[in-house]
Structure 1
Amino acid sequence: MPARPHQDTTADDPRTAETAPGTVRPGGRTARVREAVLQVAGDTLATEGFAALDLAEVARRAEVGKTTVYRRWGTPGALAADLLVEMAETSLPRADTGTLDGDLQANARLVVKTLTDPRQGALFRALIAASLCNDQAADALHRFYAVRIGEWAACVTDAVARGEVPAGTDADAVVAAVSAPLYYAMVNVGRPPVQADADRAAGAAAAAARAGVWA
């Protein structure tokens, strides 16, 4: 999915001195440069890890001027942060099945599908590892999850409106409870989650929400 529309420009660097990496949505040649660089950055993270994310090498592989990459992103952490911005923007929208159980199950299965995808799963592991040693990557990862949880929180607010769960239920907490055991399985246990894990996590979160655990 392409980046959001923006005024077309052929400049190598659309940022002002005050603009943080990843906050500009360029068009034209700049958008193509960003797409190429982020593709290479994602491939590098997935196959070699954050330590291998060298800006000069990324520029070479993306066939982009090294000066452009250094000027636009500046550090590997900023490049990883922009990659997470792009991933958040292009992620699938939340499900709307008409029931809390159905919505949370769809969310959980999407998490499992992502974490077990050969490229995406490796990419997330690399970004999680990067967040432990790089402040820019950590901040970006936190923003990524805030965006995704905010997207799926509507499943819970809709359930409140339908009377499925108590008023005042913390929607963000319910959604986080769905994905938490799935990430735990991958990161802490070292076992890729499967669909049965997804269904169990979704069912447990829905039952707890109905019981008023997060009300």
Structure 2
Amino acid sequence: MSTLVLFDLEFTSWQGALERDWSAPGQLREIVQIGALRVREDLSVVEEYEVLVKPLVNPRLSTYFTGLTGIQQESVDRQGLPPAQALGEFLAFCRGQSVLSYGNDMVVLGENVGWARSRGEEVKNGFLGANFLNIRPWLNAIAPATASSHVGRLWRVLGLPKPVAGEEHSALFDCYSFAAAIKHLCAAGATLPQGCLLPPEA
């Protein structure tokens, strides 16, 4: 049976950064947490992936970011991986899979890979080994009530049981919310967009 990957990122942010599209000087979308699930076609989970990443341009997390995500500075300092290592490991996790996001997280991923390489760091593995797809437009079209919803809130908007312990804006919890929403919509008759499922040998 073929599998696919659902992923979500948490990245550095500040009050008003979203509205300004991170245009303030020095405010970059540096990845702090990656969460991902490898799932079967029936959306049952095969494997989890979760890692903290140490931002380099802004190594001190903003109080806004910590309040939003619950990610503590001490945890990142103690457990966080260097960006190039974390990115390479995640891309290895994605190799040979369709990789679905709720939004353009692959753009942020690409920014971070580019910054690491510009510093002269090696990012093992690349994007060509995986098929990245933003399926938020598909999901919002089928369930319009989700259009203004963050990925971690999808389960609540759709009236589903809480998928796992945790809260939104934690990358892995958000992946479970994403998976629950897709599973619910497919059970109601929706079909994932073309290209979401690759043959097992891909």
TM tier, smaller: under 0.3
Greater strand content: 2
Please identify which structure carries the higher helix content.
Answer: 1
Normalization by structure 1: what TM-score? 0.25
TM-score (norm 2): 0.26
